[in-house]
């Protein structure tokens, strides 16, 4: 079932989260277990919740739009130069002191925001492969931040 269709919305990376929330609340009220009781309804409510969670998050929404176009991020390959950059970034992050890590996190976050904007623009323009590559790079960068955050808290 198409998540956008559940809410009667067009697949678009710039989806209004306010419109999405309003549609979500409307569906929740209409199909609430106190109003309608059935096993099928419980499954439908679960689908509504999953659809809302997916579409409410900008990254997940764009990944979902690509999946609708039969593009799976796990199938996207990145070039060697990017992988080398990631390794150097990861090494630099691990060797840096806490204030430097904070600055690096800000830089990585800014890069991720830029990549998200490029992905959004590429989806709008119909360049789904380029959008997918941007999102894969975001995923790699977020892993650096998460891995190092876990290391610092261990």
Same domain for 144 and 101: yes
Same domain for 95 and 29: no
Mean predicted lDDT score pLDDT of the chain: 91
Q: Which of 22, 23, 44 is nearest to 33 (CA)?
A: 44
Same domain for 136 and 97: yes
CATH number at residue 42: 1.10.287.110
**64, part of any domain:** no
pLDDT at 152: 64
44-53 pLDDT per residue, tens:
888 999 999 9
Same domain for 79 and 51: no
pTM metric for this prediction:
0.88
83-134 pLDDT per residue, tens:
999 999 999 988 999 899 999 999 999 999 999 999 999 999 999 999 999 9
d(CA 131, CA 140): 15
Percentage with pLDDT > 70 across the chain: 92
Total domains present in the chain: 2
Same domain for 85 and 39: no
**121, part of any domain:** yes
Domain span at residue 22 reads 3-56
Task: Establish how many alpha carbons lie within 13 A of residue 6's alpha carbon, considering only the half-sphere containing its beta carbon.
Answer: 25
pLDDT at 88: 94
pLDDT for 136 beyond 80: yes
Same domain for 146 and 98: yes
Give me the helices (H) in the chain, please.
3-7, 17-30, 39-56, 58-68, 80-95, 98-125, 128-153
Percentage with pLDDT > 90 across the chain: 75
**61, part of any domain:** no
**85, part of any domain:** yes
pLDDT at 55: 98
């Amino acid at each position: 079932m198409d998540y956008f269709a559940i809410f009667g919305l067009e697949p678009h990376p710039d989806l209004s989260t306010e419109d999405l929330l309003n549609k979500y609340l409307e569906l929740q009220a209409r199909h609430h277990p106190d109003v309608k009781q059935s096993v099928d309804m419980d499954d439908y409510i679960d689908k509504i919740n999953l659809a809302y969670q997916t579409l409410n998050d900008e990254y997940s929404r764009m990944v979902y739009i690509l999946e609708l176009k039969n593009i799976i991020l796990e199938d996207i390959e990145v070039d060697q130069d990017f992988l080398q950059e990631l390794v150097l970034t990861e090494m630099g992050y691990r060797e840096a002191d806490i204030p430097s890590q904070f600055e690096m996190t800000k830089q990585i976050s800014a890069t991720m925001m830029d990549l998200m904007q490029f992905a959004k623009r590429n989806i709008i323009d119909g360049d789904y492969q380029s959008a997918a590559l941007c999102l894969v790079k975001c995923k790699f960068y977020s892993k650096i931040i998460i891995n190092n955050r876990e290391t610092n808290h261990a």
